[in-house]
Amino acid sequence: MIEFHINKPDHSIKSLLEAKIDNLTKPKGSLGVLEELAIRAGIIQQSLEPGLSSPYNVIFAADHGIAAEGVSLSPQEVTFQMISNFLCGGAGINFLARQHNFKLKVVDSGVNYDFPPTPGLINLKIRKGTRNFLYEAAMTLPEMELAMSRGAGVVSECFSEGCNVISFGEMGIANTSASAMWMSTIAGISLKKCVGAGCGLDEAGISHKFDILSRALKNYRGDFSTFDIMRHFGGYEMVMAVGGMLRAAELGMIILVDGFIMTNCMLAAISLYPDVKEYAIFGHQGDESGHKILLDYMNVKALLNLNLRLGEGTGAVCAYPILESAVRMINEMNSFNKIEVTKYF
Q: Are strands 121-123 and 280-282 parallel, antiparallel or unpaired?
A: unpaired
H-helix or E-strand spanning residue 81: helix 77-88
Neighbour tally for 298: CB within 10 Å: 17
14 sits in the region (left: phi over 0; alpha: psi -120 to 50; else beta) called alpha
Q: Using alpha carbons only, what angle is made at residue 246 by residues 286 and 196, rounded to the nearest 5 degrees?
A: 25
What's the rounded Cα separation, in Å, for the pair 246 and 148?
9
- Name the active-site residue from 145, 203, 312, 340: 312
> How many residues does the structure list for the chain?
345
The Cα 2–Cα 105 span in angstroms is 22
Determine how β-strand 121-123 pairs with β-strand 103-110.
Answer: parallel
Of 280, 268, 257, give the one whose Cα is nearest residue 179.
268
Dihedral (CA of 104, 181, 285, 307) sign: positive
Active site residue 312: yes
Q: How many CB atoms lie within 10 A of CB 46?
A: 12
Q: Bridge partners of 122?
A: 107
Sheet holding 254-257, edge to edge: 121-123, 103-110, 56-62, 165-171, 254-257, 280-282
Nearest C-alpha neighbor of 263 from the set 231, 309, 222, 232: 309
Single-letter amino acid code for the residue at 213: L
Describe the crossing of helices 32-45 and 314-332 by its angle, rounded to 10 degrees: 90
Say which amino acid occupies 97: A
- Residue 156 and residue 251: Cα distance in Å, rounded? 8
Q: Which residues are catalytic?
A: 312
